[in-house]
Amino acid sequence: MKALFKAFALVVLIVAIVVIAGLFRMATREISSRAQPGHVETVVARTLRHLAIPRSARDRTNPVARTPEVIAEGMAHFADHCAGCHANNGSGDTEIGRGLYPKPPDMRLNETQSLSDGELFYIIENGVRFTGMPAWSTGNEEGGHGTWHLVHFIRELPRLTPEQIEQMKKLNPRAPDEIREEQEQEKAPHSHSDTEKPHPSPHKHQD
């Protein structure tokens, strides 16, 4: 029993030292969000995130069957709600993503793909403190089903085709200026070449 207590105390001490070191590093650096988190800070943040997710949530399995329709719905949801920070391909390489601290992860890589379905669901629903990841939970069953669809699509990110990414671009939210420009183009008069030529008036023969 004493040996177990000592081992536990040692783990707590190591974690405390790492956390303090990470906080000290953050405190002595500039406040700019342009920098990349250091290795220690990244390890500490991921470890704390893992520990913060209840085991019951981590062990949950996706109750929604994986079908082409579910993948398509998840893709549309991702393109509309997530791509602004995470990019259509999940790389996180967007104007918003590059300005966040920490940067959005490349969701195609093992750091995300190795998470359980339950962990992905929990992160999407509850967000992550001190990051740019908000909580997307709607608090109802329909919203939860949509999140499980999204989890299925996240598993597809490493295998997305160029055709799928182009399709997602059409589903991305558009800025008001883009919508206004499109509306103005639709209202603009057709060019002279496109207008129908007037029919000549019939020639009347005099008797």
pLDDT digits (tens, 9 = 90+) for 116-166: 999 999 999 999 988 999 999 999 999 999 999 999 999 999 999 999 999
124 domain residue, yes or no: yes
Residues 22 and 136: their CA atoms lie apart, in Å, by 28
Tell me the residue range of the domain where 151 lies. Answer: 37-173
CATH number of the domain enclosing 62: 1.10.760.10
Domain membership flag for residue 27: no
pLDDT in tens, 56-108: 999 999 999 999 999 999 999 999 999 999 999 999 999 999 999 899 999 99
pLDDT at 76: 97
Q: Is residue 14 part of a domain?
A: no
DSSP 58: H
In a domain, 67, yes or no: yes
For residue 57, with 0-12 CB atoms within 10 Å meaning exposed, 13-18 middle and 19 or more buried, which class applies? middle
The owner of tokens 């893709």 is: 75
Q: Is 59 helix (H, G, I), strand (E, B) or coil?
A: coil
pLDDT in tens, 13-49: 666 665 665 566 556 556 777 777 788 878 888 888 9
CA distances from 61 to 11, 49, 57 (A): 30, 19, 9
Question: Which pLDDT value is given to residue 48?
Answer: 85
Residue 63 falls within a domain, yes or no? yes
Domains contained in the chain, number: 1
**Cβ–Cβ contacts within 10 Å for residue 175, how many?**
8
Question: What global pTM score does this model have?
Answer: 0.72
Is residue 16 assigned to a domain? no
CB 148 within 8 A of CB 193: no
> For residues 150 and 72, is the Cβ–Cβ distance under 8 A?
no
**pLDDT at residue 45 in the model:** 85
Nearest of 121, 146, 106, 150 to residue 54 by alpha carbon: 121
Does any domain span residue 180? no
Could you tell me if residue 46 is inside a domain?
Answer: yes
List Cβ<8 Å contacts ≥24 apart for 50-59. Answer: 50/119, 53/118, 53/119, 53/122, 53/123, 54/122, 57/118, 57/119, 57/121, 57/122, 58/116, 58/118, 58/119, 58/122, 59/116, 59/118
